[in-house]
A = this chain, B = another copy of it.
Amino acid sequence: MTLKRPPYQPRDATRAVTIRDVARDAGVSVATVSRALNHRGHVAEAVRLRVREVADALRYAPHPGARNLSSRSTHTLGVVLPVLHGEFYSSLMRGIDQVARSHGLHLLVSSHHGRRDEQDAALQALRGRVEGLIVMSAAHAPGEDAGLLHIGVPAVSLDDADAAGMSTIAIDNRGGAVAMVRHLLSRGHRRIAFIGGPAGQPEAVARELGYRQAMADFGLEEWVVEGAFDEASGHGACAGILRQGLRPDAVFAGNDLMALGCLFALTQAGVRVPQDVALVGFDDIPLAAYAHPGLTTMRVDAAELGRRAVRLLLSSTGAIADPDIEPGLLATTLVVRASCAAAEDPEA
C-alpha cells in the first residue's frame, strides 16, 4: 500500500470552472452535465434545465483541449498560405472564413513566405490541432514532393501542382492568360508585350506560360519583360518598354497592380491608352474599374476559391455532401473596359 499523496496541483489560483463544479452545484454527475450540455443521449428536461442554469451562473465553458483529447475533434481548420496580406490572399481568407464560420469551425492560420522550411514547420505545428488543412504550398521543383504527405488529415491544395493525390482546387491562371491574349488578338493586336511576375511564384509562372502558349499558337513573337507584381515594377517595366525602338500594340501586365503602374508611366510619357497602346491586367482589383481609362482585366475570384476550398475539404471529410464542389480549376472572367479598345474600332 502506498501512502496517500498530496493532490496534484499545477493549477493556478484563478482556475477556470470545470464540468465538475457544475455537476456538484447541480447535484448530478459529470456525465449528466456533459450529456445535458451537448444534447447527447437522453436527459430529463428538468435536469437539463437545471444544469444549463447552473452552468450559466458559473460561466462555465468546456475546456477545448480536454474535449479535443477525449473526443478527438478540434473543430478547427488549418490554413497555410504563402503570405497573409494583399488583395488576393485576404480575399481568399475572407472566403475561407465565411464558410468555415458557417460550419462552426475555427481557423488556425500560418504563412510560409514561399519557403519550404517554414512550410514544413507550419504543417508540423498544426499536426493534431486541426481536422483539415487548406494549403497553398511553397514553390517546389516539379519532381519534388510538396511536403504535404504525412499530414494525417484531409487537405486541399490551392496549387495547380496536385500533390500526392490530394484534392486540388486552383485559379486557372494559365487559361486566363491564354484567354486574355486571344482577346487582344481578336481586337487586332499583334505586338503584345507581357510583364511577368516574380520568378518561381506559381501564379506568375502560370500566367506567363499562358501568354507564351497563346502567342506560340498564333506564331507570334514573345516579348516578355520582368516584373515583381507591384506597382513600382509595372512602372519600371513599362518605362523600359517605351525606351525600346519598337512600341508594342498592347501591354499585358501579369497583374493589375503592375498594369496600374504601367498606366501611370504611359500617362507621364504622353502615350495615350488605349489610342496609342492597349493595356490589360489580371486580377480585377477594385481600383481597376476606377482607373482612367478603366482597365480591361481578368477577374480572379479569390473569395470564391476560398469558399470552394473549404466546401471541398468538408465534403471530403463527409461533413457535408456537396455534389457541386469538385476539385479542378476555377475559371477567371474577362472584364472588358476602356483600356483596351478594339483596334478595328477607330473612334475609340
Contact = CB atoms under 8 A, between A and B. Distances in A.
A231 B76 contact: no
Nearest to A302: B85
A199 B89 CA distance: 27
A49 interface: no
A290 B65 contact: no
Nearest to A79: B109
A83 B94 contact: yes
Nearest to A262: B290
A261 B70 CA distance: 55
Stoichiometry, as copies per complex, reads 2
Most buried by B among A61, A62, A290: A290
> What range describes how many residues of A lie at the interface?
35 or more
A14 B152 contact: yes
A66 B68 CA distance: 8
A201 interface: no
A64 B231 contact: no
15 contacts: A11-B72, A59-B150, A61-B124, A61-B127, A64-B129, A65-B68, A69-B69, A87-B87, A89-B90, A94-B111, A97-B111, A107-B108, A107-B109, A264-B291, A264-B292
Interface of A: 10-12, 14, 16, 59, 61-66, 68-72, 74, 76, 83-87, 89-91, 93-94, 97, 101, 106-111, 124-125, 127-129, 150, 152, 230-232, 235, 257, 260-261, 264, 267-268, 286-287, 289-292
